[in-house]
Structures are given as structure tokens and as C-alpha cells.
Amino acid sequence: MVNNKAKRMAKYAIMFATIFVAMMIDRAISFLPIGFSMAVCTLLVTLSFCFLSNSWADATFAGLFFGLASFIKEFLMPSALIGQVLPVYYWPLITIPPRLAMSLCAFAVYRGVLALFKKGKIATRQIVALSVATLVGLVCNTVGFFSCVELARFLHNDANQGVFAMIYAVLVTNIIPEYAASVAGVPLIVLGVRRGLKLGVDGNNEKRAKGEQHK
């Protein structure tokens, strides 16, 4: 029991650290003279963790850690949309709920697609389910994020339309490459890591091993 708890704690610590490092990489890239800032690394890592072990708990923690990492990041390297515009007490509203909703929606769709399509090769079914779930999760994150920003603006009585309109325009231009990279990359990462960690194509080897131990 102690070993299992220590293993879970270590796993989630690694998950949070990896997501945070990915976010720092994305933020560092934004300072390069390339004209745009994206969250490709963070989205790839977070969504990959969401599906890796085929676990609701892991999906929940992946989204939660994404939100917490984003919240902490604002103190270190504030973004124009949050850290330099809205007061700190609105940051959790903007950074955490959309990312948690993203991971839960994505995982629910992943399970749902697999339940609907039970025929065909398991690898093909996994790729389709992961791709569709990733896309739905990304849309959920985008809609949720903008909704939370607007709610924070309403609560803060912010009437500076020009600044937010400009920032939204920049964010929208980032959506297509972020979506394309995530939808194409997440299935490859998940299936590759599952293979490397011997989790099985469906990510259920640990569950099967535990079931055999209790027989």
C-alpha cells in the first residue's frame, strides 16, 4: 500500500513537472523574434498525459496540473492577457477551470468513441479515438478559456475593448497550428510511450496485471 501511494505521488509529481517545463519552453519561445506565441508543447504534453494510462484520475490531474502550472507561470512570466491586464485574484478563474474541463471532456470523448466503435484493429481504433478526443478537448479549452476571460472582465468591469480585441486576434491565429500539431502529435506520443512503458496499446496493462493478482 505504501509503495503504491509513493508510486502514485512520484507519477503525479513527474506529470506536473513535465507540464510546467513544457509551459516554460512555450513561454521562452514566445520571446524569440518569430511574431507569435503558442502553447503547442504544453498541449501535447497535457493531452498525452490525459490519455496515457486510460485513467479518469490521470486525466483529471493532467488538466488540473495544466491549470496550476499556468497560474504559477503568470507570477514568473505574466502574459499580456492575464498577468498584465486582470488582477491576480481573477487568475485562477481563467487558468484552472478551462484546462480541467478540457481534460475531462477529452477523456470522456475518448472513452465514448472506443465504446461506439468496437470493431476493427485496436491500434486504428485508438488512433481515431485519440484524434477525435484531442480535437474536442482543444475546442473545449478554447471556448472555456475565452468564456472565463469574459467572465473575469465582467466581474472586473473592464471596458478596454481594444486591448482584448487585439489579444484575441493573436490567440485565434495560433489556434490552427496548435490544433494541427496536437491532433497529429498526441496519438503518436501516447501510443509510442505506451509501447515504451509496456502499458499495452490500450494503456490497460497495469489494470490487467492488478486483476490477475487478485484472482
3-state secondary structure of 33: coil
Indicate whether this model's pTM tops 0.85: yes
Q: Is the pLDDT of residue 7 over 90?
A: no
Question: What number of other Cβ atoms are within 10 A of residue 87's Cβ?
Answer: 12
Per-residue buried b or exposed e for 48-63, using 16+ beta carbons within 10 Å of the residue's own CB: bbbbbbbbeebbebbb
Q: Spell out the domains of the chain, with CATH numbers in brackets.
A: 2-213 (1.10.1760.20)
**CA 82, CA 183: separation in Å to the nearest integer?**
27
56 against 152, higher pLDDT: 56
Band (210; pLDDT cuts 50, 70, 90): low
**CA 38, CA 29: separation in Å to the nearest integer?**
8
**Residues 136-194 pLDDT 10s:** 999 999 999 889 988 888 888 875 665 566 666 666 777 888 999 999 999 999 999 99
Q: Given this model, what pLDDT does residue 163 score?
A: 56
**CA 143, CA 165: separation in Å to the nearest integer?**
16
